[in-house]
Structure 1
Amino acid sequence: MNISSERLFDLSGRVALVTGSGQGMGLGIVRALATQGARVIINDYYAERAESSAKALQAEGLQVCAAPGDITVPHIREQIIATARETFGEIDILVNNAGVPPGMPESLRQFKDLEDKDFEQQLDLNLRAILGLTRLVVDGMCERQFGRIVIISSESWRVGLSYGLSNYAAAKAAALGFMRQLSHEVGRSGVTANALSLGCMNNFGYDETAKATTAVGRAGTPEDVGAAVAFLASAEASWMTGQVLALNGGSVTA
């Protein structure tokens, strides 16, 4: 394709929804997309967090708004999409970042100690919410011949660990399977679907682990994630779809 933008990864005129983005990696994604010119909706389970983050970024001159709510609830998902459309217009970029339910990581337990509700909680957030939100926006993306679906995943789907992540990793892996199938269904309509698989990040105190296990010797940051998502959301990434990009500092290189 011919790249006509004066700057790479220009998102001017695009509208993005980032789930679970009131803090941490999600907020880093919001900042990166808004800095590149997108109008961004900040969703978070906690309303105060979404609204305070929106106010802070608005004070910096970035075009953002808050649309808090629990994305595991179908009618709440519809309300969030309606708010986004009323405020900024049709959604061009959906970043499925929310992935850590309340109580995690303190609630991590070995598989033998898990109950059915523990799997349902992870499936609700890390699979069903992604399916539901995508269903609400993908037809419009196809009609407009542009769309970006991005899933923020975890290297726990790829690498076995002893931390008690079986339910979390299972839901993450299921979402990646969906992403690959979706990419083939909508690719010729100008819509891409990709995922970032994150390694040790600095939001859960994994800094020391990252120093010992990554090639670069540090944990990942919101800025790292935001930069990668800005690329995947851009016109320049139109030939990348159905992919899982490892963003892990070199902790896994195969």
Structure 2
Amino acid sequence: MVRLPATVHRVLRTLTWTVTDFHKTPRRRAALALLLGGLVAYSLVFRLYQVNTTFWLFADQIRDWGLVGQPLAAMPGRGTPRVDHGYSFGPVFYYVLWTIRRTVGALCEALPHSGAYGLAALHALGEAVLLYGMLHLRMGLGMACVVALSLASAAPEAALSGTIWNPNLSVAFALGALGLLCMEAPRSRLGLGATLLCAMGALHCHTPTLFLAAPVGAAAYLGHGRGGSQRPWRVGAVIVLGTVAAAQLPY
């Protein structure tokens, strides 16, 4: 039987770490923070490299960037147009893009590619939340990093990060919802609301996300029922209905 060197053995054990292992010592917690920050930095560099010279500016981008240049009260109360001449579920995409134009855009003279900066940052944060969720799910550091880096390096999605497009934001919300679900956040009332808001945000931005938002919402509701609170099913139902109603108010 071949005996592995001690260093190799330690590395292999590290690849099986979960959130519980990272929280055992302050040094490990710092390593976890560096890991999540490194994933965000990698995702941003991969998606935004030279985006100021390769930004896609077509009719949709001109329309959306022009809309968010107006005051907040003038924002449309409906979602982005669909190819079948309808509209997406809600205007969350416009509100987020409006915020990006007044924050990130203020540093870039409100040029359209600043919208790509903001959307890519939200996407990277969603990937970090999902990575933490997978570690909480006891997937193991090695497998969780493989999944996270595969998502961050996906060529089709990375190519679309060089523009302003509502499916980009929908994916960011979906990653956040899945990450919160993996963290068992819906066990608490606040976590249930946050998970549902992310799922509704994904649905608002891109209608086909319904096939993800519906099961995520159902899983979040069932997860709240195992949270140990009094009357969890009734409270969970109130939170679900309240979150959906609040998300639809602008619409």
- Whether TM exceeds 0.5 here: the answer is no
Say which one has the larger Rg: 2
Higher share of residues assigned helix: 2
Q: TM-score, normalised by structure 1?
A: 0.27
Higher share of residues assigned strand: 1
Q: TM-score, normalised by structure 2?
A: 0.27
